[in-house]
Structure 1
């Protein structure tokens, strides 16, 4: 990530950050808020490098020892906190405070990044508040959130808020591919974001790959062999999509399948399943736009029932029945 690249995607954010770096007037804390976590991470990486860079000219210079180590995440004065399971706990913030009580190993400056800051427990948020109110030395905090209203108002009031503009699915897909994601997986991840949020990155990728195949197979059975669909549901769907969080993501994958079928009718190319174009085309010949709209509505209602704590197995059986009746 460079200033030019950030400016092309988030012009307001880039202008404010670069001006603060050039004038050496960075606040003690930023809150990056918006839907796209990748945008947050790349902007945070750029700002961390600029903050730690020792160049007297362009910051970040991109060639000094500090820039390189900050970019690959190995700088000793850069700390990143992520949720431990479903939340960020008080002991994680306390460990951060203990670490920052010592002088910087490489320079007087230290920076910490908190991802999904809205997932802090109440005790963790209160501990961080004390830290924000009494920063020691040259310290920079970057908090990322997709739910600004879930942060303590006192934390928000002590930070500078930068709102990131939402990107289109196609823009997110291009960014993921530029970051090294395979095109087929980038297409789907651009649309579902970081779901399921309870899995670490390396596990999430494998989970999505498997879940994607289950959805493709289930959709094909519903169309071609509806009497076998329930068997796939029992043997593969329920064994992979186990809890409500995962089932909700699975329903998203299912929803995007039927949206892609509709897109094939409209001859659109921005697909969530670009490698399945032939299967999507075949299904588009068997389903009318009205049927597909009904299918998507059924999936959305299944998500609503899921959030209302209705039995997941009953939800899925009812969903398959509705889709089959509509076909």
Structure 2
């Protein structure tokens, strides 16, 4: 879903204010550097700026999002807007030279051209030097937007020729509220907002039926820790393994379990606002009352160790989970 100006202003107010000021004064920089963590909306913002610059019917600082140019930018088909990214792990000199050739031509449909470089920190040294020359001698009407999660890896001379706009991580509460506005149930929104900082990723996760089932299974998982060992292991093999089949799925399941344990700590401390499994408050309060704090902390440590082993060893996931549940049960 394409970003709207109101969404940019809400999620990244400082960035929106800087761009709005430039648009209103007709002083758009010839080069921007959008830097910030993955999922903070850098590419969506760069495309929003492109749409505003090429929009046939702008409304103030907002593009109409409906005209031919806005639609073509969304589909990647506008001849005067180019997006490049790493080819086989890096951005190569040939890609920058191709951009230079394209932008030395007359703009096809207007007097403006714009290019977006994704993961700009992954340029080879020769590509970076080639881009630097391009930035030092910009063609009239050309706007460059470089996107990076690690701008300290860029040449200082490139950074100095760009207007740097920093994209802040979205606080989980704001992210959850945005998900609720997209009709995601609050219990799923709260968890998804803590699992990723990317609105798009959180929305996709929260709307996936797999995620809702994973949450239900994790609650059952904790409840089964109070059952006889044989019954618990049967649940693990019959219900958990088929659902958390891939390593990344199990990693997410462990995160969900970790947040459940964290909720028990919040309840014991009387910090109800921090509870993520909020619709399960009655059950959580019973569990928190029956479980000493040292046991909760030991459980969290065991889960974190399991996550580390999952991501750093070739250990069987079945064996890893069996060992974890026996640790948690003890």
Range with bigger deviation, 161-170 or 150-159 = 150-159
Question: Deviations 1:106-152 (Å, cap 9, x if unpaired)?
Answer: 5444445566x27x8666x9658745753666444444444445667
Partner of 1:33: 35
Q: Deviations over 1:2-35 (max 9, x none)?
A: 6666455544323322222233333344333334
1:308–1:20 Cα change, 3 Å: same
Cα deviation 1:32-62 (Å, max 9, x = unaligned): 3334625435544543333223568822253
Deviates more, 1:223-232 or 1:297-306: 223-232
Deviation at 1:193, TM superposition (A): 0.7
Q: Hey, what does 2:18 align to over in structure 1?
A: 16
Distance in 2, Cα, partners of 1:257 & 1:65? 47
**CA–CA distance in structure 1, aligned partners of residues 12 and 212 of structure 2:** 30
Task: Give the C-alpha shift of residue 253 in structure 1.
Answer: 1.8
Partner of 1:320 in structure 2? 325
Cα shift readout 1:195-216 (whole Å, capped 9, x = no counterpart)? 8x9x998588535344334323
Secondary structure of residue in 1 paired with 2:276: coil
1:247-271 Cα offsets, whole Å, 9 max, x none, are 3333222211211233333251344
Shift of 1:323: 1.3
Deviates more, 1:254-263 or 1:27-36: 27-36
**Cα offsets for 1:179-236 (capped at 9, x unmatched):** 45443332222101168x9x99858853534433432332232244554333343344
Measured in 2, the distance between the counterparts of 1:185 and 1:99 equals: 48
Change (3 A) 1:318 1:168: same
Within 5 Å, give how 1:1-327 maps onto structure 2: 6-7=8-9, 9-35=11-37, 37-40=39-42, 43-54=45-56, 58-60=60-62, 62=64, 65=67, 69=71, 76=78, 97=99, 107-111=110-114, 117=119, 130=130, 133-134=133-134, 138-149=141-152, 156=159, 159-193=162-196, 205-206=207-208, 207-224=210-227, 226-265=229-268, 266-309=270-313, 311-313=315-317, 314-325=319-330
Aligned-CA RMSD value: 4.5
CA contact (8 A) 1:170 1:270 kept: no
Matched position secondary structure for 2:32:
strand
Aligned residue-pair number: 319
Unaligned runs of 5+ in 1: none
Point out where structure 2 has 5 or more consecutive residues left out of the alignment: none
**Contact between 2:188 and 2:212, CA under 8 Å: does it hold in 1?**
yes
TM-score for the superposition, normalised by structure 2: 0.71
1:29/1:142 contact within 8 Å kept: yes
